[in-house]
Amino acid sequence: MARKVVNRKELRAQNDAAEARAKTTKKAAKEKPAKEKKEKVAKEPKKAAAKKTTRKKTAKEVRMKAYWGIFSPSLKRLALFEYADKKAAEKKAADLTASSRSQHFVQLVKEAITE
């Protein structure tokens, strides 16, 4: 069985009307000055709220160090040499290439410095 739908707006209007009648009958003389004060306050323009300033997080700069890495054809790093030792890295890559069928190569690698 269906129920009657309650119209909340009508109930609210009825409640407001009943409250208004109760106020006028009880304190008619005292309410007039209070209403005038409220109206004056309401006529003044409201100040806009100041926007809260936000700070963006700056990206932390990470110091990097360069190395020479020896890699297999499957891009697996086999050895790591200091940047100044490029000749040693190339020699090691040539030795690995000669000892196996696959080509090994030297590539620059940059890694973050952890302190």
Assess whether pLDDT exceeds 60 at residue 42. no
With respect to residue 50, please indicate whether it lies within any of the assigned structural domains. no
Tell me whether residue 16 is in a domain. Answer: no
> Which pTM was predicted?
0.47
- Is 105 inside a domain boundary? yes
* 69 CB-near residues (< 8 Å, 6+ apart): 77, 79, 80, 81, 89, 106, 107, 108, 109
Q: Is residue 42 part of a domain?
A: no
| Structural domain boundaries enclosing 86 | 64-112
d(CA 36, CA 114): 70
The predicted structure's pLDDT at residue 107: 96
Whether residue 32 lies inside any domain: the answer is: no
The least confident of 13-17, 56-60, 63-67, 83-87 is: 56-60
Band (pLDDT 50/70/90 cuts) for residue 85 is very high
